[in-house]
């Protein structure tokens, strides 16, 4: 199993910086990128919706993912926030070492 994950989280634009800041402050990820202005189309309770959102891209240790998901569920304004984790299979060793250092307590 890989030691690292990329976690994608969508948020309303007015919550992106606040959520990102708290993720970093609590060492749940080493880095969070905010991608502004994504347009999301989805079905919610039988109705097709469209919204402008931000995409948070968090790089973290695998051991932090469960806590990050819990944090998002408790602090996100959506009833069902998107949190999707993907394995990092390869990368710059220096970056991965930094990622490990920044997510260690």
Q: Output the tens digit of pLDDT for each of the chain's 105 residues.
A: 579 999 999 999 999 999 999 999 999 999 999 999 999 999 999 999 999 999 999 999 999 999 999 999 999 999 999 999 999 999 999 999 999 999 986
Closest CA to 24 of 64, 81, 55, 62: 64
* DSSP H helical ranges for 2-92: 16-25, 65-75
Closest CA to 84 of 9, 29, 1: 9
pTM of the model: 0.94
What distance in Å separates the CA atoms of residue 45 and residue 75, rounded to the nearest whole number?
Answer: 22
Say whether domain 4-102 belongs to CATH 3.30.70.120.
yes
């Amino acid at each position: 199993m890989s030691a690292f994950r990329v976690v994608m989280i969508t948020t309303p634009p007015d919550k992106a910086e606040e959520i990102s800041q708290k993720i970093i402050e609590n060492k749940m990820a080493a880095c969070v990128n905010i991608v502004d202005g994504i347009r999301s189309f989805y079905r919610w309770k039988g109705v097709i919706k469209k919204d402008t959102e931000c995409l948070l891209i968090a790089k973290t240790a695998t051991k932090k993912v469960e806590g990050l998901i819990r944090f998002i569920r408790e602090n996100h304004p959506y009833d069902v926030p998107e949190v999707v984790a993907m394995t990092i299979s390869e990368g710059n060793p220096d970056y991965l070492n930094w990622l490990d250092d920044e997510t260690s307590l």
